[in-house]
């Protein structure tokens, strides 16, 4: 398995059977642009797009990529329906607690404490369902939990009990999600990750710019904290 951080909460996961984008916010992602990344390169061969929720900095380039690549898009039911009105054809929908099966992996919508919606070009607000994390189980590979955007909550322990994720992708930027110290507490208290990858930082001036608080809070953890630069890849 190869996991590449594309800046913010966007990731590319490659396995023998699938090439997945999670929350592909690329075009207006300062971290993506600053790293000199190219959308054509990071979307090459994409088979699936998985979305945690409906905010613009997570839906990002989903519509354009899905149309160009013919990728299957997984999202909560409300967000999936909205994407259908934008011309996305290959849609799979679910909701909190539900699992959707694909060739080589399954994706389960887990809880997240956050909101989900967008304002259109006419200034009309659209509620786009719940915010979620995504628990991904692969055949013969480590399992991955992308927490989405969230605060800490005690039922994280139940998510760990049910799914036993090996790799945790954790939002740490504060302001719109839990900050680094709280995110570290969540990982230390409720999960038993083998590896943790912080995200949702450094993109905008009003969120934390570095993972330092998270790294400090994870001191003494059995989990290996990995902080690639945007465009950096990790192999498991």
HSE-CB at 223 with a 13 A cutoff on CA atoms is: 29
| Other CB atoms within 10 A of residue 38 CB | 12
CATH number at residue 191: 3.60.15.10
In a domain, 232, yes or no: no
Q: How many domains does the chain have?
A: 1
* Residue 121: predicted pLDDT: 86
In a domain, 233, yes or no: no
Domain limits for position 150: 2-227
Residue 136 belongs to what H/E stretch? strand 132-138
Q: Is the pLDDT assigned to residue 122 strictly greater than 90?
A: no
Look up the pTM and report it. 0.98
In a domain, 129, yes or no: yes
In a domain, 94, yes or no: yes
- Rounded to whole angstroms, how far apart are CA atoms 227 and 5? 9
Average pLDDT over residues 2-27: 98
Average pLDDT over residues 160-164: 98
In a domain, 147, yes or no: yes
- Rounded to whole angstroms, how far apart are CA atoms 113 and 150? 5
State what percent of residues in the chain have pLDDT above 90. Answer: 97
Cβ 204 vs Cβ 211: under 8 Å: no
Tell me whether strands 72-76 and 48-50 are parallel, antiparallel or unpaired. Answer: parallel
In a domain, 65, yes or no: yes
In a domain, 127, yes or no: yes
| Residue 135: C-alpha distances to residues 27, 108, 138, 194, 230 (Å) | 26, 5, 10, 15, 22
3 state SS of 167: strand
| Other CB atoms within 10 A of residue 224 CB | 12
Taking only the tens place, the pLDDT of each residue in 134-157 is 999 999 999 999 999 999 999 999
What is the torsional sign of CA 208, 187, 96, 141?
A: positive
Q: Is the pLDDT assigned to residue 10 strictly greater than 90?
A: yes
Taking only the tens place, the pLDDT of each residue in 79-116 is 999 999 999 999 999 999 999 999 999 999 999 999 99
In a domain, 144, yes or no: yes
């Amino acid at each position: 398995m190869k996991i590449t951080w594309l800046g913010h909460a966007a990731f590319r996961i490659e396995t023998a059977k699938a090439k997945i984008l999670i929350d592909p916010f690329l075009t207006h992602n300062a971290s993506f642009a600053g790293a000199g990344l190219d959308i054509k390169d990071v979307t090459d061969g994409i088979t699936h797009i998985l979305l945690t929720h409906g905010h613009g900095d997570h839906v990002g380039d989903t519509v354009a990529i899905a149309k160009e690549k013919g990728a299957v898009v997984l999202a909560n039911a409300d967000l999936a329906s909205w994407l259908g009105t934008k011309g996305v054809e290959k849609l799979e929908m679910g909701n909190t607690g539900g699992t959707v099966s694909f060739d080589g992996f399954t994706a389960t919508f887990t809880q997240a404490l956050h909101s989900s919606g967008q304002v259109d070009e006419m200034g009309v607000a659209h509620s786009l369902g719940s915010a979620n994390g995504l628990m991904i189980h692969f055949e013969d590979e480590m399992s991955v939990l992308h927490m989405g955007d969230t605060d800490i909550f005690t039922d994280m322990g139940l998510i760990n009990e049910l799914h036993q994720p090996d790799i945790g992708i954790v939002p740490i930027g504060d302001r719109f999600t839990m900050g680094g110290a709280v995110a570290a507490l969540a990982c230390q208290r409720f999960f038993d990750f083998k590896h943790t990858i912080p995200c949702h930082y450094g993109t905008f001036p009003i969120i934390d710019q570095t993972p330092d608080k998270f790294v400090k809070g994870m001191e003494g953890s059995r989990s290996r904290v990995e902080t690639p630069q945007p465009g950096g890849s990790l192999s498991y």
